[in-house]
Structure 1
Amino acid sequence: MDKLSKYQIVVMIIMFELGSTPLFQLGVKAKQDSWLAMTLAACAGLLLLWIYLRIQNRFPEMGLADLLRVHFGKLLGTFTGVLFGIYFTYEASRNARDFSELTVMTILQQTPQWVIIFTAALISLYGVYKGPAVFFRVVEMLFPVVIVSYGIIVFLLFVARLPNFHKLLPMLENGIGPVAHAAFPDILSFPFGQMIVFLMFWHRLAPGKNLGRTAAMGYMIVAILLILMNALSMAVLGPDISALSSLPLLEVVQLIQIANILERLDVFVTVLLYIGLYVKMTLFYMAAVMMMKNLFKGSHVAWSTIVVLIICGLSFLEPNNTVRLWIGLTVMVKLYTLFQIAVPILVLVVGAARGLGTKGAPPNAEPVGEK
């Protein structure tokens, strides 16, 4: 099994959490305090990260599938693992649909969505087929391009004098209630709770590396970036326009006009969003394949093919983008807490009660591990 470096883990956490997040103005229910809702959710996400790391550190050599079977037993652990596999697959399908919706709304208005979805799925299929080591290296190469590009966008926004930070006032106009309501569980679940997927990959970190420090570094960097981007977008558009915008970041960038020369940067931003969606979709897809392969054996190619077909099918569940956004950002974020919060806490409690990780696995635990 190929090992991952500390830098690759940090980069993947940043790229994954960025992912599709800039597509939405999260916390818009808190109006001008959306960035405070993002900050509150990010702080709570640190607690979730600590839980995930505690679980991983009990058996550093195991992925999520084996961890579930060690803690819950073979039968219940396998059942829970299947549910996680379904969760990862559905998340990948939502990113595939995001990919198609973004394309149709920006550059290929006449192209059928099924063509875009299948094209995105095939690109992800190739990444999954090559395995985590290759995919993490690809993301490592894309990372400087993405970070520098976002830095240029922020710089140009200030050059064009678009941010008006008075739009962020008054702070806490209606108290902490609306901020907390916007943060929990919605923003906590998306994007911060999605860190649960890394329990499928952290055991690949090269020996001798400090996983806790590595994961916390990546998390803190991307949390700060997301909070800043949220505040900046709100400072440009204001709470009223942000609440009505389907693609707030694109609208923000479309406002950049410098000396009647530098403008129409929305295509540039669209490419950045494509990269983020590809990274997020492929990591969820890869996690689903690894989970099912671990639980039920079978070849990597077979499971990759089965899962990608399911992803494509699930991408067409919602009839339109309005329904899809409502389901994803209102309904599913609450259901996801079962996988992101409830099950990890249960695993933590069961492990503590059984003394796992201190005296080793009980005699009846038979983790299979990855081959």
Structure 2
Amino acid sequence: MQRIGKSQLSIMIIVFLIGSTPLFELGLKARQDAWIAMAMAAVVGLLLTVIYIKLQKRAPEAGLAELCRMHFGKWLGGTVALVYTVWFSYESMRNVRDVGELTRMALLTVTPKWIIMLLILFVAAYTVSKGLEVFARIVQLLFPIVLVSYLFIILLLFIAKLPEIDRLLPIMENGMGPITKAAFPDLVSFPFGQTVVFLVYWKHLKEKRELGKTTFKSQAGVSAFLIFMNMLVMSVLGPALSEVTSLPLLQAVQLIRLANFLERLDVIVTLLLFIGLYVKMTALYLAAVLTLKEVTGAAYRHFVWPVGLVVYAASFLEPNNTYHLWLGLDVTLKIVPLFQIVFPLLMLVAGVRKRYKRAASP
């Protein structure tokens, strides 16, 4: 079995949750209070992670499929694990399509989408074929680039004096209603609830005793960062402009003008876009392959390219970007709580009941 260290796990969680999230302004239903909605969703996301960690600690060497079978039985648990495989593949497909749409929108405006998506998926498939250890090392190599790029953007935005705190006021102008609607279930589902994918990876951690501490600290830190970035972009653009901009962070960076010299920093945002989507796409793709391997017991290598072909083919089912966004934001986010909340809670309850039965038996 391949193993990863706690620092690798921490970096994987950070880069995975960041993904492409800061490029968008999430929670816009709450307008200037979007950051409050993000904070509420982050707290719920941490509570969900506590549930996931409790499940993992019941069987530290079990993956998601094994946990499903342990709690639901062989056949029902195997079916639930297969449903998770379909969901992981679907979410990976959405990131493939995002790469195609956003690259054409922001960078390669005349390049066919199918070529862009084929290239990024081929890179992801090659990474998956090499296994978790290689993927973890790649994320380690990409992490400093992500860190420095975001710090550079934040620094330049403040040097250019673009953020204005007045754009975040008044706080809770319309009460808690819009904030709550923005946070639940949308912001809980994306990005915070996606931590459930690490039920596939935690069994590969070398230092099992550090699992809870490492995961919780990493998720808390990245949650604070995402809330801050939400506030920063909103303080630059304001709610009105944020609502009509496809990539708010890109729009904010395009406003940077320093000494008639430093401008047109779109390349940094594009780099972050590619890294974030690549890491998230590959992590979900790898999770689908590993879960399928656990369910069937067949060799890992048999599923890498078939799953990749399904993901690539499925990325063309949505006729246009408008439909793609509608399906993702208005439909998918209402369904994924089944995987992030319902199934884990059922496993938690089933496990408590089983322990109670064992304790009560003579």
Other-structure match for 1:205: 205
- Please report how far the alpha carbon of residue 298 of structure 1 lies from its aligned counterpart in structure 2 after TM superposition: 2.7
Distance in 2 (CA, whole Å) between partners of 1:318 and 1:327 is 9
Matched-pair contact (CA < 8 Å) for 1:22–1:273: no
Secondary structure of residue in 2 paired with 1:15: helix
Is 1:67 the counterpart of 2:67? The answer is: yes
| Map 1:12-31 → 2, pairs under 5 A | 12-31=12-31
How far apart in 1 are the matches of 2:48 and 2:156?
A: 35
Deviations 1:61-115 (A, max 9, x none): 1000100001100000010000000000000000001111111012211111111
Residue 343 of structure 2 corresponds to 343
Q: CA RMSD in A?
A: 1.4
Output the TM-score relative to the length of structure 1.
Answer: 0.95
What's the counterpart of residue 166 of structure 2?
Answer: 166
Asked if residue 285 in structure 1 is aligned to residue 311 in structure 2, the reply is no
| Secondary structure in 1 matching 2:224 | helix
In structure 2, C-alpha distance between the alignment counterparts of 1:208 and 1:68, rounded to whole Å = 20
Whole-angstrom CA distance in 2 between matches of 1:248 and 1:49: 29
Structure 2 CA distance for aligned equivalents of residues 208 and 128 of structure 1: 24
- Provide the C-alpha distance between the structure 2 equivalents of 1:207 and 1:249, rounded to a whole number of angstroms: 37
- The residue type equivalent to 2:62 in the other structure is M
Correspondences of 1:299-338 after superposition (within 5 Å): 299-338=299-338
Tell me, yes or no, if the aligned pair for 1:6 and 1:209 is still in contact at 8 Å. no
Q: Distance in 1 between matches of 2:125 and 2:171?
A: 46
Shift of 1:235: 0.5
Distance in 2 (alpha carbons) for counterparts of 1:9 and 1:217: 11
Equivalent residue runs for 1:175-194 within 5 Å: 175-194=175-194
After TM superposition, the runs of 4+ consecutive aligned structure 1 residues lying more than 3 A away are none
Look up the SS of the partner of 1:175 in the other structure. coil
- Give, in angstroms, the shift of residue 268 of structure 1: 1.5
Give aligned pairs, total: 360
| CA contact 1:28–1:239 (8 Å) conserved in 2 | yes
C-alpha deviation, 1:317, in angstroms:
1.8
Q: Could you tell me how far apart the structure 2 residues matched to 1:240 and 1:107 are?
A: 25
Equivalent residue, structure 1, for 2:103: 103
Give unpaired runs (5+ residues) of structure 1. 363-371
* 8 A contact 2:21–2:191 mirrored in 1: yes
1:137 counterpart residue number: 137
* TM-score, scaled to structure 2: 0.97
Counterpart-to-counterpart distance in 1, 2:208 and 2:251:
45
Structure 2 gap ranges (5+): none
Secondary structure of 2:111 counterpart? coil
2:246 counterpart SS class: coil
Q: Which is worse superposed, 86-95 or 289-298?
A: 289-298
Q: Which moved more, 1:73-82 or 1:265-274?
A: 265-274
Question: 2 CA distance for matches of 1:33 and 1:286?
Answer: 36
